[in-house]
C-alpha cells in the first residue's frame, strides 16, 4: 500500500505508545483516523492533539477484549469514514512473574487484551476489507497485528505475555497464508518490537479492579527487569511507527524494531531442529542470570 492520503486507518491502543505514534504518522500522511483505547483521558488527549493538527478523527473508548465493542466500533467508523484501508490491532498489556504464580485473573486479562483483542480485530475488519475489495477493483488494505520479540523468543518471568504474543505471531502467519488463497489486495504484517519505551510496563493502570492482587516477589523482580531494559532502550515508539509504515508500503510481513535480537530467534530455531534444551537467554549478558537467581531464592 503506497497511497495513504484520504484513506482510513483504525488503531487500537491509540492513546499512548505505538498506537499514538501510528496515529500521528497517519495524520501527517493525510489519513482519516479511527482511534480506540480503553483509557479515556489518554484517548481524549490524542483526539484533541490530532484534531488540532487538522486530522479527521473518530475516537471511542473500547475494550478490545469485548467482541461487541469492537464490532460496534467498526459499524460506526465505517458509517463515518467508509471502509478501513489500514488496521492496527495494537492494544496490549504486560504481565510478569514466575509462570505458576500468575493468577487466573492475570491470564484472563492478558489473554483478553493481547490475544482476543487481535482475534476480534481480525474477525471484524478482514471480512469488511474483502467485501470492499470485491466491490471496488482499486481497493487495497493491510492489517498489522502487534506481537513482540517475545512472540519469537521465550524470556523467563514473562510466561503469560509470551504465550499471548506467540499466539499473535501464529495467528498472523496463518492469516497471511489464508489471505493469499482468496485475494491479492488485502495483506498483513506482524510487528515484533523488543524493549521500547511505550508505557506497557505501566499497563496495570488500566487493569480491571477485580483483577488486582498483591504482587509476588517474582512479579516485582520481573517488573524491575523490564523497567531497566526499557529505560536503557535507544529505539523510540516513533522510530517503530516509522519502520512499520515503511514496511506496510513495501508489503513486508515481519517487522522488527531490533534486528540484532534475531540472533536469539536463530538460536531457538537451531535448538528445535537439533532437539536441544532451550539455550540460556542470558548468555550474552554476564551476571544477569545470577542476579535473578539471587533475587528469587533469597530468604
Q: Is the predicted pLDDT of residue 206 greater than 90, yes or no?
A: no
Please state the rounded mean pLDDT for residues 148-168: 97
Residue environment code for 249-287, b if the CB has 16+ CB neighbours within 10 A, otherwise e = eeeeebbbbbeebbebeebbeeeeeeeeeeeebeeeeee
Percent of the chain scored above 90 by pLDDT?
85
- Longest alpha-carbon distance in the chain: 67
Cα–Cα distance measured from residue 292 to residue 138, given in angstroms and rounded to the nearest whole number: 55
pLDDT at 14 (0 to 100): 98
Q: What mean pLDDT comes out for the span 200-226?
A: 73
Which residue is it, cell 479492579? 209
Rounded Cα distance between 105 and 103, Å, is 5
| Residue-range domain boundaries for the chain | 8-264
Question: Per-residue DSSP letters for 228-265?
Answer: HHHHT----HHHHHHHHHHHHHHT-SEEES-GGGHHHH
The Cα-based distances of 34 to 1, 24, 191, 223 in angstroms read 18, 12, 20, 32
Are the beta carbons of 133 and 139 closer than 8 angstroms? yes
Dump pLDDT digits (tens) for 97-146: 999 999 999 999 999 999 999 999 999 999 999 999 999 999 999 999 99
Cα angle: 256, vertex 261, 266; to 5 degrees = 105
Q: Kindly indicate the confidence band of residue 276, based on its pLDDT and cuts at 50, 70 and 90.
A: very high
Express each pLDDT in 17-28 by its tens digit. Answer: 999 999 999 999
Can you tell me the distance from the alpha carbon of 89 to that of 77, in angstroms, rounded to the nearest whole number? 15
CATH fold of 8-264 reads: Rossmann fold (3.40.50)
Considering the candidates 161, 194, 195, 254, report the single residue annotated as catalytic: 161
Q: What DSSP element (H or E) covers 142?
A: strand 141-146
Above 70 in pLDDT, residue 216?
yes
Q: What is the pLDDT of residue 220?
A: 93
Instruction: Determine the average pLDDT of the residues in 152-181.
Output: 97
What is the model's pLDDT at position 209?
53
The tens digit of pLDDT for each residue in 218-242 reads 999 999 888 887 777 789 999 999 9
Handedness of CA 257, 17, 285, 270 (dihedral sign): negative
What is the reported pLDDT for 207?
Answer: 58
Which helix or strand (DSSP H or E) is residue 188 part of? strand 186-192
Q: What is the pLDDT of residue 202?
A: 58
Q: Is 116 helix (H, G, I), strand (E, B) or coil?
A: helix
Q: Is the pLDDT assigned to residue 179 strictly greater than 70?
A: yes
Please tell me the predicted confidence (pLDDT) of residue 211. Answer: 52
Whether the pLDDT of residue 195 is over 90: the answer is no
Q: What is the mean pLDDT of the chain?
A: 93
Per-residue pLDDT tens over the stretch 47-103: 999 999 999 999 999 999 999 999 999 999 999 999 999 999 999 999 999 999 999
Confidence of residue 8 (pLDDT cuts 50, 70, 90): very high
* Residue 161 appears among annotated catalytic residues: yes
Amino acid at each position: 500500500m503506497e497511497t495513504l492520503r484520504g484513506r482510513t486507518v483504525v488503531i487500537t491502543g491509540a492513546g499512548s505508545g505505538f498506537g499514538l505514534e501510528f496515529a500521528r504518522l497517519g495524520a501527517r500522511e493525510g489519513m482519516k483516523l479511527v482511534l480506540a483505547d480503553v483509557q479515556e483521558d489518554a484517548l481524549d488527549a490524542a483526539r484533541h492533539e490530532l484534531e488540532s493538527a487538522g486530522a479527521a478523527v473518530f475516537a471511542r473508548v473500547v475494550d478490545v477484549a469485548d467482541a461487541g465493542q469492537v464490532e460496534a466500533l467498526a459499524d460506526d467508523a465505517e458509517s463515518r469514514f467508509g471502509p478501513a484501508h489500514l488496521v492496527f490491532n495494537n492494544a496490549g498489556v504486560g504481565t510478569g512473574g514466575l509462570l505458576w504464580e500468575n493468577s487466573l485473573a492475570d491470564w484472563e486479562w492478558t489473554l483478553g487484551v493481547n490475544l482476543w483483542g487481535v482475534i476480534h480485530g481480525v474477525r471484524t475488519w478482514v471480512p469488511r476489507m474483502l467485501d470492499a475489495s470485491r466491490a471496488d477493483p482499486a481497493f487495497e488494505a493491510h492489517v498489522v497485528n502487534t506481537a513482540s520479540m517475545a512472540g519469537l523468543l521465550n524470556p523467563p518471568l514473562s510466561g503469560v505475555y509470551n504465550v499471548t504474543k506467540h499466539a499473535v505471531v501464529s495467528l498472523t502467519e496463518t492469516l497471511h497464508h489464508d489471505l493469499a488463497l482468496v485475494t491479492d489486495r488485502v495483506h498483513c504484517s506482524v510487528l515484533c518490537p523488543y524493549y521500547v519505551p511505550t508505557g506497557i510496563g505501566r499497563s496495570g493502570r488500566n487493569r480491571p479492579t477485580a483483577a488486582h492482587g498483591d504482587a509476588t516477589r517474582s512479579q516485582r523482580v520481573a517488573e524491575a527487569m523490564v523497567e531497566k531494559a526499557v529505560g536503557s532502550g535507544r529505539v523510540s515508539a516513533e522510530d517503530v511507527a516509522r519502520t512499520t509504515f515503511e514496511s506496510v508500503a513495501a508489503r513486508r510481513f515481519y517487522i522488527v524494531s531490533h534486528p540484532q535480537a534475531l540472533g536469539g530467534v536463530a538460536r531457538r530455531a537451531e535448538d528445535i531442529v537439533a532437539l536441544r534444551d532451550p539455550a540460556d537467554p542470558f548468555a550474552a549478558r554476564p551476571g544477569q542470570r545470577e542476579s535473578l537467581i539471587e533475587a528469587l531464592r533469597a530468604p
